């Protein structure tokens, strides 16, 4: 299963929608948004692609009531979790949190196959040694909005556990 991993769209609907459309064209079946989406209106153009979206709010919360309403109105297409999310996609255990330092800490536990985070606006995908003697994937898609960094997102392949940083 391929997934589109995005973060830090900061009310920039157009680049978010573009990343989701590109990901869908490359076989993505779902979207994970790692926070700082901000406004509920920001997600609407991305939802038009028809993929299920899993989103958390980050440190720039915006209007959580409007996000919950948008989630309800989407009839299940948008799942809005609040500050973090535990997902099972493609047979993988995934934890989504906004802060990159928290993402690193959760990767170290070895409890999840993949930890997705944001906040730093710096894209990276790497394996982190964990306390169970293995390695966990830590993926930060950077900022799809291109704020003080390139406009980036990640196409993840959960079957192969491979992650490719993409630039808009």
Here the CATH number for the domain that contains residue 159 is 3.60.21.10
Does the predicted model carry a pTM greater than 0.85? yes
The Cα 75–Cα 123 span in angstroms is 31
Range of the domain at 28: 2-167
**Per the structure block, which two tokens stand in for 49?**
């692609």
- For 65-111, what is each residue's pLDDT tens digit? 999 999 999 999 999 999 999 999 999 999 999 999 999 999 999 99
- Tokens of residue 146, six digits: 């291109």
pLDDT category at 61 given cuts 50, 70, 90 is confident
Domain count for the chain, please give it. Answer: 1
């Amino acid at each position: 299963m391929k997934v589109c991993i995005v973060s830090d769209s900061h009310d920039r609907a157009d680049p978010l929608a573009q990343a989701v459309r590109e990901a869908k064209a490359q076989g993505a079946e779902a979207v994970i948004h790692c926070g700082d989406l901000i406004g509920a209106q920001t997600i609407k153009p991305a939802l038009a692609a028809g993929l299920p979206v899993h989103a958390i709010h980050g440190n720039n919360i915006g209007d959580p009531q409007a996000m919950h309403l948008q989630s309800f109105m989407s009839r299940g297409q948008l799942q809005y979790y609040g500050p973090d999310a535990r997902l099972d996609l493609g047979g993988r255990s995934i934890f989504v949190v906004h802060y990159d330092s928290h993402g690193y800490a959760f990767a170290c536990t070895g409890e999840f196959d993949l930890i997705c985070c944001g906040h730093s606006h710096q894209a990276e995908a790497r394996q982190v040694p964990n306390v169970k003697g293995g390695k966990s994937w830590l993926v930060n898609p950077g900022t799809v909005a291109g704020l003080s960094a390139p406009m980036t997102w990640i196409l993840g392949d959960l079957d192969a556990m491979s992650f490719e940083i993409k630039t808009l």
